[in-house]
Amino acid sequence: MPLCVSVNHVSKKYVLGNFGYGTFRHDLQSWWAKRRGKDDPNAKLGGPHLGEANEEFMALDDVSFEVHQGDRLGIMGRNGSGKSTMLKILSRLTTPTQGWVGIKGRVASLLEVGTGFHPDLTGRENMYLNGSILGMRRWEIRKKFDEIVAFSEIGQFIDTPVKRYSSGMYVRLAFAVAAHLNSEILILDEVLAVGDLGFQQKCMNKILSLGNEEGKTIVFVSHVPGWVQSICNRAILLRKGHKILDADTKTVMEEYDKELKAGGQ
């Protein structure tokens, strides 16, 4: 099958701690003093110099893998392993510090609650906005409109600003939009953790249909092994930013289970 996602030696580094004093004037004073080898004029007595180097944290460290069209890839790992950071890079919400990512096809992402929708726009307006970002025409979005509203089960609130939605309503609409609009690659991060059991199963059935019947490429993160096993034909295991294993789902789940029992050591 054709290659649609290529992750090449990707690393992502964050700097922990304070970044500045809150005003441009104070930051400029501190920077200029540091350039001249002088004491920081804004540092508190007895406190740290905020202009000095802060601690660095590698969320991802030299990770590479490929995803082919129609693959259903699960990304597994304990909290802090780099799963969500990888999905944000794939979704173009952040850029890698090193390495590069190649993607061929339209990408629809559903990450944490609050990502992807404008809070002041209504559900209807956000639906058209997301479709436009994917390159769809208004008539294409309109054709899917009734199907999306019916799936989300929030018809009477579709013209209400989404900032007034509960987290469950938000995720229902966001999932319905991501799953029904015209994308080739669907990226999902723990989205089924919000909502009642009935809607979770409804989402599971839709994801299985997208993968098995429509041949869409899916990248899925979840802490629930049963969901990963049901959806994915392949998985990778991340540990502290490193890729530990890339294999069939059953093999990766067994290794992940060993890691959980060992306390992640």
SS3 66: strand
Residue 226 domain boundaries: 67-261
Strand ranges across the sheet with 72-76 = 107-110, 185-189, 217-221, 72-76, 234-239, 242-247
Q: Does 32 fall in a domain?
A: no
Q: Say if residue 116's pLDDT is above 90.
A: no
Q: Is the Cβ–Cβ distance between 229 and 237 less than 8 Å?
A: no
How high is the pLDDT of residue 46?
Answer: 46
Please tell me which of 70-74, 89-93, 202-206 the model is most confident about, judged by mean pLDDT: 70-74
Q: Give, for 167, the enclosing helix (H) or strand (E).
A: helix 167-180
Q: Is the Cβ–Cβ distance between 123 and 158 less than 8 Å?
A: yes
Q: Does 89 fall in a domain?
A: yes
Q: Say if residue 47's pLDDT is above 80.
A: no
Other CB atoms within a 10 A radius of the CB of residue 106 amount to: 15
Half-sphere exposure of 46 (CA within 13 A, CB side): 0
Output the domain CATH number for residue 104: 3.40.50.300
Closest CA to 177 of 122, 229, 220, 120: 122
221 vs 21: which has the higher pLDDT: 221
Q: Does 154 fall in a domain?
A: yes
Domain count, the chain: 1
Q: Does 85 fall in a domain?
A: yes
Contacts of 89 (CB under 8 A, 6+ apart): 10, 12, 60, 95, 96, 101
Mean pLDDT lowest among 66-70, 76-80, 111-115, 179-183: 111-115
CA angle 175, 124, 202 (to 5 degrees): 25
Q: Does 102 fall in a domain?
A: yes
Q: Does 47 fall in a domain?
A: no
Quick check: pTM over 0.85? no
Q: What is the pLDDT of residues 129-179, one digit of tens each?
A: 988 877 788 998 999 999 999 999 999 999 999 999 988 888 888 888 888
How high is the pLDDT of residue 45?
Answer: 46
Q: Is the Cβ–Cβ distance between 110 and 188 less than 8 Å?
A: yes
Q: What is the pLDDT of residues 216-256, one digit of tens each?
A: 999 999 877 888 888 999 999 999 999 999 999 999 999 99
